[in-house]
Each structure stands twice: as C-alpha cells, then as structure tokens.
Amino acid sequence: MREKRDVIRTFFPEDRVGRSLTLSTMAYALSSGVFYTVSTLYFTLVIGLGATTVGLGLGIAGGAGVLSSYASGRLADRLGAHRVQTAATALNGVAMLAYTLTSDAVMFTLIACLTVAMRSASGTSKQAMLARWYTGPERVEVRARMRVVTNVFIGLGTLAAAAALLAGTAVAYQAAIVACGVLLLTAAVPLARLGRQVPELPGRMTAPAGPAADGAAKGPSPLKDRTYVASVACNAVVALQFGLMTVGVPLWVASTGAPTALVSVLLVLNTVVVAVLQVRVSRGVHDVRRAGIAVRRASWLIALACGLYALAGYGNAVIACALLIMAALAHTLGEILGEAGGWGMAFELADQRSAGAYQGLSQTGYAIAAMVSPVLVTSTAVEHGTVGWLALAALFVAGGTGAAMVARRHRPRETAAAAGPVPAAKAG
C-alpha cells in the first residue's frame, strides 16, 4: 500500500506547488526525450552540419549553460524563482522552435547557446524554488520524485521519437523539433500560474510570490562560503559519472564482445532502477552527515562499476554481457545515492537567505561536470581501457571521500534563516 501511495504522490502531488512543478516536469521531460533522440540526426541530416561543427557548437553552448546556472540563481533571489523558471522554460521553447529556421553553423551555435542557457536557468530556478518553498526532508523527497517523473517521461519521449526515426524524412525530423518546442511552451503554463497559487498557501518560511518575498533578506555570497564551495566541487567530481552512461558506456560496449544492442538494455535498466528506488533511497539524506556518507558510498559503487566495465573488455560475449549488466546496476545504484546525497548537501549547507545564489552555484558544478565528462571519459576509459577505467574509479572515490569529509566537519548555522524548518500546511 505504501508503494502505491508513493507512486500516486510522485505523479499526482497533494500540494498545488508540487502539482504545478510535476505537470511542468512531465511536459519538459517529454520534450527532452524527443530532442535527445532526434537532435543529432536533425542537425546533421536536415540542417546539413558536420559532426565536428555540431560538437563545437554544443561545446560553446555548454559554456553558456555554466554561466547561466549561476547567474539565474542570483536572478531568482531578486525576481522570484518561479518567475525565472517560467521565463526560462518559455524562452527555451522559443529557441527550440528556432532550430527549424537554422541554416548555418553560426545561427545553430547562437540558438544552441540560448537553448542550453535557458535549460540551465530553468534547472537552477527549480532548485531554488524547492529550496525556498519546501523545508527539511521534504526538499530532498520532492526533488527525488521530480527525478522519477523526469526519467519516466524522458523514456516516453524517446519512444514517441521513434516515429520520426522510422519515417526518416526531413519533415518528420522537423515535426519532432516543433513538438519539442510546443511541449516546452506547454511546460511554462503551470509555472506561470504559480504567481496566483503560491500566496494562497500558508505556513511556509519564505513564500516565493515575488521579489519582496523571494529575496527580501539579502544573504551572503556562496562564493565566500568555503564549506559550500568545497561541497559543490566534490559533488561535481562525482557527477562526472553521468558521462559514463551517456557517452562512455555506449562506446565501450562497441569495443567489447557484447552486442551493441545491449546499450539499450543498460539504459532501460538504469531508467527502471531510478524510477523504483530514487525516492526510497533519498529518505533521510536531509541530514548533512548522512548525505555525505551517501555520496561516499555512491563513489565506491561507481568505482566498482568502473572495474566491472573494464573487466568486460576481457571476456567473450556472454561474460561481457553479464559483467556489463552488473556494472550498470552498480553504476545506477551509485548514481541514485550520489544524487540524493548531493541534493541533501546542496539544500542543507546553503544559507536560505541567498537560496537562489547557493542553488545556482550547486547547479553550476553539475553544469561544469556535464560539459567536461564526455571529453574526460573518452580520453581515459575509451582510449586507454583498463588503465583509464581505474583512473576514473580513483577520481570518483576521491570526490566521494571529499564530500563525506566536508559533511562531517559541517556545523549547523546559528542564523534565523537556517535555524530550522517551519511546519508547512498543505493545500489541496
């Protein structure tokens, strides 16, 4: 019964803010699933760009995303997190539709920069919204539920995009890109309604209804908070693991005796395990020390996965498949623990008077990891095999150990803003 209630709460939250965020996340994730599936083929086959040009343009866009992650956090403190999130999501949709008008590398790069920047701004402002609106263990739990929704609907979007792949025509690919843009614009609608809904909900410590409420008390800069900066750095190192599943593993599988179709199996396994376990594993990590321990355990699981991935290169097809599945399972469990612990540290180590800026710095760490990880993974594990995998394992363990040390040395703030959560009344 509890599992059934958890599923209902995940996809149909009881509170209005949670429902709005969930509906928005559903549409956003559907768009992402479609875009991830068709974008590369659209850029190369329809627009006619070379693979190197696409890679360079997306690399530049990644830099724009890093800058946007931090700047949008500052903006969320000044204007209100939900306002920034609404505008960023809508502009992301407009930029996505602009891809259908792209005809050369310069225009592609400019649009890619806007798209990635707005995606980063949306992620940061959502994190700031959760930090301000929810309190204590609620923050991490809601964030975990959002991740489950995201994974499920990205999967649905990927399935929907199969229609464009089967058609294989320029019109089909353009229709898929248009659908991505429309879904993003749709995702902005429930966010836009938060301006009317939030003031109706009593009991929150800081209601994100507008500039006066969202950023009335000016807090310190997270860049001057050495504990928080160290936490962001350590968690960013562990977050490099996302490049393994999206870039490293597909390339590595192709070099082993396992069939390349196994890549799809591993990705499905990842999605299912995250959907089933993310919320459960995330309980309790609002305690900073437990969050640090979770990140450290995650780093060891990911290091174990690196070792199993390396061993898969030495076996026949059956052994390679078995080792890769075991590696993917350990990797996914590490991913779940690392995400949960990272959220706990990002929320609980922050000074809530500057919630947007702090969450912006946290998201900047993830954005840097996303930008660096493909190059790092290919230049180590994919190019150098076992030695590269072991180097990555050591790097992950170092990051996780560092995060645990930061959490262990943490002392709770003695400020009114961080003294403790105020019980929240739920509104239906």
- Between 229 and 424, name the one with better pLDDT: 229
DSSP-H helix ranges across 205-287: 211-214, 226-239, 242-243, 249-255, 262-282
pLDDT one-digit tens code per residue, 369-386: 988 888 888 889 988 999
pLDDT one-digit tens code per residue, 320-364: 999 999 999 999 999 999 999 999 999 989 888 888 899 999 999
pLDDT one-digit tens code per residue, 47-78: 988 878 888 888 888 889 999 998 999 898 88
Of all residues in the chain, the percent with pLDDT exceeding 70 is 89
Taken as a whole, the chain contains a residue count of 428
pLDDT one-digit tens code per residue, 125-178: 998 888 888 877 788 888 888 989 998 898 898 888 888 888 888 999 999 999
pLDDT one-digit tens code per residue, 259-317: 888 887 888 888 889 888 888 888 878 889 999 999 999 999 999 999 999 999 998 89
Span 220-237, average pLDDT: 92
Residue 3 has what pLDDT?
62
Residue 107, Cβ density class (10 Å: 0-12 exposed, 13-18 middle, ≥19 buried):
middle
Whether the model clears a pTM of 0.85, i.e. scores above it, the answer is no
Q: Which candidate, 407, 81, 375, 37, places its Cα nearest to that of 215? A: 81
Residue 218 has what pLDDT?
66
Give me the DSSP letters along 125-148: HHHHHHHHHS-THHHHHHHHHHHH
List the helix and strand counts (H, then E) for the chain.
18, 0
Is it the case that residue 224 has pLDDT exceeding 70?
yes
Domains recognised in the chain with CATH numbers: 1-195+209-216 (1.20.1250.20), 219-412 (1.20.1250)
Question: How many CB atoms are located within 10 Å of the residue 261 CB?
Answer: 8
Element (H, E) at 427: none
